[in-house]
A and B are shown apart, each in its own frame.
Chain A
Amino acid sequence: MITFWFAILVLAWVLYFVLEGFDFGVGVLAPFLGRDDHERAAAIRTIGPFWDGNEVWLVAAIGVTFAAFPDWYAVLLAGTYLPMVGILLLLAVRGVALEFRGKHDSPAWRRRCDRLLAGSSAGVVLLWGALLGVFVHGLALGPDGTVTGNGLGRSLSPLLTPAAGLGALAALFGAVMLGATFLALRTTGPVRRRAVALGRHGGNLGTVGLLLAGIATGSRLALVAAVLSVIAGMLARQGREGGAFTAVALGVAGAVVAVFTAHGSVVLRSTLDPMWSLTRESAAAGPAALRLITVAGVIVLPGVLAYQTWSYWVFRRRIASERVPS
């Protein structure tokens, strides 16, 4: 049961990082690939109907973590307090910039929303990447299972490690590649041309980033991710956009799985003493709670996947910058 819920938890986080990964990427790229308001609007409209549903996977992922592994949830969030708050604040700015952009006619309002969107998307990606690096590296867990330290440094110092830095870098590459291949797939016209070009050249950069992250995590799966990113670059050069997007998505998925399985059944390593690490078994919820979410999950999750897939089908058409009303 614990292994089953660990698998569901990893699946939820993978879906979150892949799905929201591409809309983060589009957010970062929109001001660069869209040269005027029409083109930017077209780029942002590719994620318009999806980003909110994508973000709900974060609600699901953190909810599953809380429900199935309450100790992990508690230690992780309290231990990385400030970076987590940073992510929440940036996500708040980002969501509002996305939703509010098209509701006002003034060009200045839209420019401001575009900048906020790009800045907050990049910030969130970097922070998530750094935190994923921290999850692999571990936290300074004391014998009582809480993070030691004082003042601001308590939850900021984990970010000052090479693992966090490389994680941030890899995440930015991953999101930009996801965004570029997604835009290539979903737009026509100049935005698509530029996205295709970026996808062609970006693959190599992504490979380097993922390789570095692989070295930092010491995981073979990250190696697989890097190989997939090479494949993505090749597919993009051949003009096979669907294949390129799939390859990048699989690469990101592989990297996320690598992060969560880096230390076997240890879910959060203590950097002070391995004895104080948090394991799946010690972090898991009681059998009754696991049974309850199993019943709920088995009934609900297939439905969620079905209607989310349907919503992607409904909005499957390419978006041309010329057709967007100003």
Chain B
Amino acid sequence: MDVLDLTRLQFAVVTIYHYLFVPLSICLSATAAGLHLTWLRTGDDRFRDLTRFVGKLLIVTFAVGVVTGLVQEFQFGLGWSAFAKFYGDVFGPTLAIEGMLAFFLEATFLALWYFGWGRLPRRLHAATIVIVAAGTLLSAYIILAANSFMQNPVAYALDPVTGRAHLTSFVELLTNEVVLAAFPHTMAGAAMAGGGLLLAIGVRRLAADPAFRTLSRLGAWLMLAGGALTAITGDHLGKVMTAVQPMKMAAAEALYETTTGAPFSVFALGTLGHEKPFLTVEIPRLLSFLGTGSFSGTVQGIDDLQAQYVAQYGPGSYVPMIPVAFWTFRLMIGAGVAGMALAAYYLWASSTRKWRLPLLPAALQAGAGVPGWARRILLLAPLLPAAANTFGWVFTETARQPWLAFGISTVADGVSPGLTSVEVVASLAGFTLVYGLLAVAWYRLVVHLCGKPLAEVPEKSPAADPAPAY
């Protein structure tokens, strides 16, 4: 591999790793805020215990998110300094504003909340976690706006003298139609991810404490509702994408010829080249509907788009890696649907109501309880949304190739000049090693935290000892 490929690989590794923790932080901070407010309103101490428990999960997850997020902010200069110079005027202010506006809020107020038990007035204390949750949403929005610029560059002008991109309107950057569609989709995915974690933890400790049943059902609802919203928002995002990056959606379906009333293939066996795959399972006209909103809509094919781009941007290949696009798109949807199915099953089986469905055996009826084998499967719940989110991002980023910012700059233009492959290999090894250790430590700590009885998680009652142990 050359420097470009290695730098791309490194960016992918550190970004995917970072994004395993980001959705969890987003969801856990909102959940902690919700539980805290519920405790304030009801005075039920079960909610205080749950709030503090989710708070601990949030702190350890946020820590990994912060340290890996810091790497992200440096990445543009380290490996992609040509990109940083060229788009500095667009990207720099966006990242700086995210840091000044949102990240300071999150970090400072999370510490105030976590260490503020018994030390701040009750309402002010509850307000700090609400600010944290708002900060994470703001942070996510601004970063997604920065990414959406690369998907669909808006609000910029190319300086004829320096040849650089200049920002013309920040408001326009923040209201890019792609970010308006991508933000709800990403947040719904985050709800699924956090829900999956809470579901698994709750199920693991179901017998220990009735409060864990509340936690597991809350997690399952987050996963189910998040999944439904992911599907709805994903449909909208797909239509926006079909309009701004038709090549990406054509690659997702491996559709070579422009087709009217195009089918969606659920599954395909073959090379995904020009020849027909020898086995496909297709839903007629669905792709046209997904892409255009009409079952008889016309979807542009890869070959036509390639010819069009050659005419527009000059010779070269504008086709991304088709199998990667095709399969990541399907795996994203598949993992999401499987996650929703798990959550729905759990909600059904653990319900206190006794609905009956004809033909189902008694063990699978509502309120029948969750058997041991099913609990073991439910422990895997966090993996499904994590996989769906990862496949989604891999699809989004790789199916944009060869562009870094669509239509203006290619990935090959962005890499740091003078960077040597020895340096990238060394840093990649360092990241892999340290990130691996972080993952092991995070996992051990989460398992340890959920091994404790819930009421004991705050070592002493908040009033007796205001600050948690450090």
**Interface status of A101 (Cβ within 8 A of chain B):** yes
Asked if A91 meets B470 with Cβ closer than 8 Å, knowing A63-B95, A70-B89, the reply is no
Query: Of residues B64, B67, B96, which shows the largest number of chain A Cβ atoms within 10 Å of its Cβ?
Result: B96
| Contact status A89-B470, CB under 8 Å | no
- Complex Cα distance, B469 from A100, in Å, reads 11
| Contact status A101-B470, CB under 8 Å | yes
- Complex Cα distance, B78 from A82, in Å, reads 9
**Closest partner residue, chain B, to A326 (CB atom):** B469
Query: Among B38-46, B306-314, B361-369, B411-419, which stretch is in contact with chain A?
Result: B411-419
A89 / chain B contacts, CB cutoff of 8 Å: 430-431, 434
| Contact status A311-B465, CB under 8 Å | no
**Interface status of A289 (Cβ within 8 A of chain B):** yes
- Complex Cα distance, B434 from A308, in Å, reads 30
**Interface status of A73 (Cβ within 8 A of chain B):** yes
**Closest partner residue, chain A, to B98 (CB atom):** A63
**Interface status of B12 (Cβ within 8 A of chain A):** no
Query: Of residues A49, A76, A104, which shows the largest number of chain B Cβ atoms within 10 Å of its Cβ?
Result: A49
What's the count of A-B pairs with C-beta under 8 Å? 250
Query: Shortest beta-carbon distance, B145 to chain A, in Å?
Result: 13
**Interface status of B77 (Cβ within 8 A of chain A):** yes
Query: Shortest beta-carbon distance, B375 to chain A, in Å?
Result: 25
**Interface status of B9 (Cβ within 8 A of chain A):** no
Asked if A296 meets B423 with Cβ closer than 8 Å, knowing A74-B84, A101-B470, A288-B168, the reply is no
**Interface status of B275 (Cβ within 8 A of chain A):** no
**Closest partner residue, chain A, to B165 (CB atom):** A286
Asked if A67 meets B66 with Cβ closer than 8 Å, knowing A286-B166, A301-B100, A325-B469, the reply is no
Which residue of A41, A67, A91, A150 is within 8 Å of B92 (Cβ)?
A67
Asked if A149 meets B93 with Cβ closer than 8 Å, knowing A96-B67, A308-B108, the reply is no
Which A290-320 residues sit within 8 Å CB-CB of chain B?
292-293, 296-297, 300-301, 304, 307-308, 311, 314-315
**Interface status of B137 (Cβ within 8 A of chain A):** no
| Contact status B97-A52, CB under 8 Å | no
Q: Please count how many residues in chain B sit with their CB below 8 Å of the partner chain's CB atoms.
A: 80
| Contact status B166-A288, CB under 8 Å | yes
| Contact status A296-B101, CB under 8 Å | yes
- Complex Cα distance, B78 from A76, in Å, reads 8
- Complex Cα distance, B94 from A296, in Å, reads 10
| Contact status B85-A70, CB under 8 Å | yes
Asked if A150 meets B88 with Cβ closer than 8 Å, knowing A55-B107, A88-B70, the reply is no
| Contact status B426-A82, CB under 8 Å | yes
- Complex Cα distance, B63 from A323, in Å, reads 26
A91 / chain B contacts, CB cutoff of 8 Å: 67, 70
B431 / chain A contacts, CB cutoff of 8 Å: 85, 89
**Interface status of A68 (Cβ within 8 A of chain B):** yes
| Contact status B418-A78, CB under 8 Å | yes
Which B453-470 residues sit within 8 Å CB-CB of chain A?
459-460, 465, 467-470
29 A-B interface contacts by CB (under 8 A): A48-B470, A49-B115, A53-B104, A55-B70, A58-B70, A60-B104, A63-B95, A66-B73, A66-B88, A67-B96, A77-B77, A88-B71, A89-B431, A93-B438, A95-B63, A96-B63, A98-B63, A102-B470, A146-B81, A146-B416, A286-B166, A289-B166, A296-B100, A300-B100, A304-B108, A311-B108, A314-B120, A315-B115, A325-B460
